[in-house]
Amino acid sequence: MIKDANQITFFTGAGVSVASGVPDFRSMGGLFDEISKEGYAPEYLLSAEYLQNDPEGFVDFYHKRLLLADKQPNVVHEWIAQLEHHQRSLGVITQNIDGLHTDAGSANVDELHGTLNRFYCIQCEHKYDKATVMAKHLRHCETCGSPIRPDIVLYDEMLDQQTISNAIQKIQAADT
């Protein structure tokens, strides 16, 4: 099917990044399982409510559990990026927040749940990239001092409508 296609749209989820050492969210041994074993409710720790009620706790949580600084794209991420570079792929629609498709070189990625490659201040919305956050160990905005957060969709937040629209267009234009 892929061999004969020229307008491929890939739809990926947690399974594609497991080979990179990224734990999936829901399976045994995944992020939710590990957090639950420690006595916490994962849905709460990843919620807009937690961010609002305890911004410092939220920042601590994502620094400890979500940044995935040592994770690299795997052969699947790279293969998908190659197909895009050879103009056989319209791009990727992903549920993953790990940013590994972009890190592999895919330029046309719709990250339905956001990405850990971008951050912004919860007060002034100043933007930061992951490299800056990691290099400077940033937890607070350099402009206003408020906590910064990853550009991911938290529980109780809506998906970005432009991202959904882009994804639908990719699906409609695909030949496989």
Q: How confident is the model at residue 117 (pLDDT cuts 50, 70, 90)?
A: very high
Please confirm, yes or no, whether 126 is among the known catalytic residues: no
- Reported as a single tens digit per residue, the pLDDT across 1-52 is 788 888 999 999 989 999 999 988 888 878 888 889 888 899 999 999 999 9
Give the model's pLDDT for residue 54. Answer: 96
How far apart, in whole angstroms, are the C-alpha atoms of residue 48 and residue 64?
18
Give the model's pLDDT for residue 115. Answer: 97
Q: Is 140 helix (H, G, I), strand (E, B) or coil?
A: strand
Residue 6 assigned as binding residue = no
Residue 124 assigned as binding residue = yes
Residue 96 assigned as binding residue = no
Please name each of the domains of the chain with its CATH number. Answer: 8-173 (3.30.1600.10)
Q: Which two tokens stand for residue 95?
A: 């549920």
- Reported as a single tens digit per residue, the pLDDT across 147-164 is 999 999 999 999 999 999
Stated pTM of the model = 0.91
163: how many CB neighbours lie within 10 A of its CB? 17
C-alpha distance from residue 34 to each of 26, 63, 145 (Å): 10, 16, 31
C-alpha distance from residue 117 to each of 20, 32, 37, 67, 82 (Å): 16, 21, 28, 9, 21
Tell which residue, 143, 161, 148, 169, has the closest CA to residue 51.
Answer: 148
